[in-house]
Every structure is written in C-alpha cells, then in structure tokens.
Amino acid sequence: MCADLAEFAVKSERDPMQYTSLNDFLARGRAHLAKGPIALIFVEDDVELGSTLRHHLDAGFVELVVFLPDNFDLPGDVADKVARVAFDMARGDDCVQAINAVIPVAAGQWLYYCFNAEYLFYPFCETRSVGELLSYHAEERRDAMLTYVIDIYAGDLQSHANAVCIEDAHLDRSGYYALARSDPNNHNHPKERQLDFFGGLRWRYEEHIPAPRRKIDRIALFRAKDGLALRPDHTFTDEEYNTYACPWHNNLTAAIVSFRTAKALKTNPGSMFDIDTFKWHNSTPFEWHSRQLLDLGLMEPGQWF
C-alpha cells in the first residue's frame, strides 16, 4: 500500500509536465506560456533529440515545450526540465497550426520554434543568454528576428548514413544569396525590407526540394500577440514581423544550424541513392561557435556589441 501511494505521488508530480494532446496542453499547461522566452520544439524522429534539448536549455530559454509522439523517450537528464506534449507529425499533426494555437495564449511573450537536430546560434551566444538577446532586440522596437536555417551535414556518409554526426558536421561557406520578395497585392513590386534567402543543400540539390521549401529564412524568434498567425512559408501575417531590419539601421539576426535537410535527402528514397557525399569545394567543418557564423556572414550583430 505504501509503495502504491508513493508511486501515485511521483506520477502526480510528473503529470503536469506531460500532456496528452495540444488541446490538453492549452487547457492545463498555460503556466508554461506565462513567462518567456519559450522554445517550442517539434520532434519528427528520434535523431539528436537529447542534444537539441540540451542546447536550447543551455541557451537560457525559460520553458521548453516539446511536441513529440507518445512512443518517444526523452533522455533522463532533460525529461523533468521540459513540458511534453503528445504530437505526431507523421500522422498529420501540423506544427504551423500548433504554433498558431499557442500564440494567443502566450500573447506578450517571446516564442521560438525549431525541429529536432536543429540548434539556435546568435551573436556572442557563448557568453550571452537568449533572454539578453531578446531584451536588447525589444529595446530596438523589434518584435521578431530573422533567422537563417544553415544546413549542416556529416562529412562521411558511409559512416553516417542519415547524414547526421555532431563530431563530423560540415557546412557550406559560400553559395548563399537573396532575391527581392515580390508583393502580389502591389503589382508584384518588392516588399520593403523583405528578401527571400537561398543557399546550402536546398540550393545545391534543388531538384529534390519542392520550390516552396527552398528558402532558408525563418522568423523563428517572435513576440506573440493577439491576431498574429504564422503562415506555412515561415512568414507572419503581420508584414513588419517579416522584415530583416528596422528602417533606421541593421538589426540582429540569428542562425539555426540544421541537419534536417541533409537527413531528409539521405532518408528519402527519391534522393538517397543519388548522393554519395554532401561535401564539395566550399565545404568546411562546422566549429559549433557563433564566431564562425559571423565571419561567414551568416548572421548579423547589428548594433549589439
């Protein structure tokens, strides 16, 4: 009897961190959305799940809300530090719909979203927290931050068939470019302070990537507010959120280094047999440090020193 009561007490203590669905989370888990910055991490498979969560905990997010299938286990060292929401993208759960459902509940708070095997970097992240980053950004009257999704990939695909290896990660040091973003509601004139960015594996292997998914820009850090909605192309219904800088000077930008594209290309039957290596003459080892991304021009410190 005493053992049963102890087991019940432990289960009751853990239950508030576990939610059976998105609706259950929005009904019972609002405390996780009361103070930011808050990271929403969507889990597509079990690749590098632990490293993804540890990286964002170390960045200083106040809350991590992890959307993942019921049959996935969280590493023991992070399981009690995150909120777990049952969510299965393979069975049709939509991350855009989930983010849009969270936004009005978290109004006023900074949100961030990414997928497993993706890692947020920003200028001087080794010594400054994401909270400090966003406090400074808010002081510049900015409510959203542009992030570039920078593809990383294993150098040796014979040893790492899914193209994922933290210790052997590489990235492209060049081949990135931007095009004007046209406005269909204004005779296709370019939108002010908005660009479409391209590069990395999505550019080099564009024949395997649907055109709407070739961009590498994502507004991954933003302040939630009533009436705001994320669109499937990673832009928002408030056009100012989609700008890379304010009208007066350059602002901070960040980068999300991501195994996601490499992993998809090497596990999709339509492309996996066409790729023996992702390395080319412009590949370089990824150093897992913000200075490298700054030196390559893959993020911008703005006025933040």
The pLDDT score that the predictor gives to residue 50 is: 96
pTM: 0.92
Mean per-residue pLDDT over the chain, rounded: 92
Q: Where are the beta strands (DSSP E) in the chain?
A: 18-19, 38-42, 63-68, 83-86, 110-115, 118-121, 144-154, 169-172, 177-183, 189-198, 217-223, 254-258, 283-285
Residue 75 exposure: Cα atoms within 13 Å on the Cβ side: 11
Cβ 222 vs Cβ 117: under 8 Å: no
Q: What pLDDT is attached to residue 14?
A: 39
Mean pLDDT along residues 257-275: 94
Confidence of residue 197 (pLDDT cuts 50, 70, 90): very high
CA distance 261 to 259: 6
Q: How confident is the model at residue 2 (pLDDT cuts 50, 70, 90)?
A: very low
pLDDT of amino acid 157: 96
pLDDT level of residue 305 (50, 70, 90 thresholds): low
**Cα torsion 63, 223, 230, 228: sign:** positive
Percent of the chain with pLDDT over 70: 94
Q: Mean pLDDT across the stretch 140-149?
A: 96
Angle at 219 between CA 213 and CA 225, to 5 degrees: 130
Q: What pLDDT score was predicted for residue 209?
A: 93
Predicted confidence at residue 188, as pLDDT, reads 80
Domain boundaries, the chain: 1-116, 117-305
The answer to whether residues 197 and 215 touch, using CB atoms and an 8 Å cutoff, is yes
| 217 neighbors 195 (Cβ within 8 angstroms) | yes
Structure-model confidence comparison of residues 36 and 61, the more confident one: 61
pLDDT for the residue 66: 98
Report cis status (omega within 30 of 0) of the bond before 37: yes
Residue 12 pLDDT more than 60?
A: no
Class of domain 1-116: alpha beta
CB-based contacts of 209: which residues, under 8 Å, 6+ apart?
Answer: 202, 261
